[in-house]
Amino acid sequence: MNRPIAAIFDIDGTIFRDSLLLKHMEKCVSYDDYLYIAATLYTKYIADKDVLDIDFVAKKVIEKESKKLYRYTRDRIKWHKEQGHQIIFISGSPDFLVSKMAEKLGADIWYATNYLQLDSKYTGEVIPMWDSASKLQVLKNLFIDFEKSYAYGDTTGDFTMLQSVGFPTAINPNKKLLDKIIQEKLDCKIIIERKDVIYKLDEVNHGIY
């Protein structure tokens, strides 16, 4: 059986212009039940919260924020669908947010940080998906043609993902990711999008600082 070609996308800072986790936190704090909750670590914040309450706010966040997408990656998702490629999301954001964004954008498969539940409440424990090691484990289990597949990311947590495919693209990469790409001599397309202007850099070895 031939392995399918896939397009693998990070979400925060790659497709979505912000952080789903932070937007969800921001929205929750605006509700009365959460007014006195300090904006500290998200996992501490989510602990002992009712799953249905969090899910309600998550839906509101996706309804509002899913329109704030980078034009480049939005168009690439459309193009990949037209080519018949699998659309895969791998994100460090919470599973209850990523699942809704994946449904909204028509992803075939998605992976995210799993926020554990007990008795319809969040425990505050997570199985992370924001680091390279976690994403590498997902990649090992994907049945795709890596040499013909694509990946898109913006931070060093996405480097393993970019390194694993034949056609990697860094979207608005932070300096650490750009340095890593140059250091490892990865043949990676660099895309910078600012205020709906898209810049493509073919030679990353010239550097951007």
- 26 versus 169: the higher-pLDDT residue is 169
Parallel, antiparallel or unpaired: strands 197-201 and 189-194: antiparallel
**H-assigned helices in the chain:** 20-29, 42-46, 51-65, 71-83, 95-105, 132-140, 159-163, 175-183
Q: What is the pLDDT of residues 130-149, one digit of tens each?
A: 777 888 899 999 999 999 99
How large is the average pLDDT for residues 100-124? 91
For the chain, what is the radius of gyration of the CA atoms? 18
pLDDT of residue 39: 29
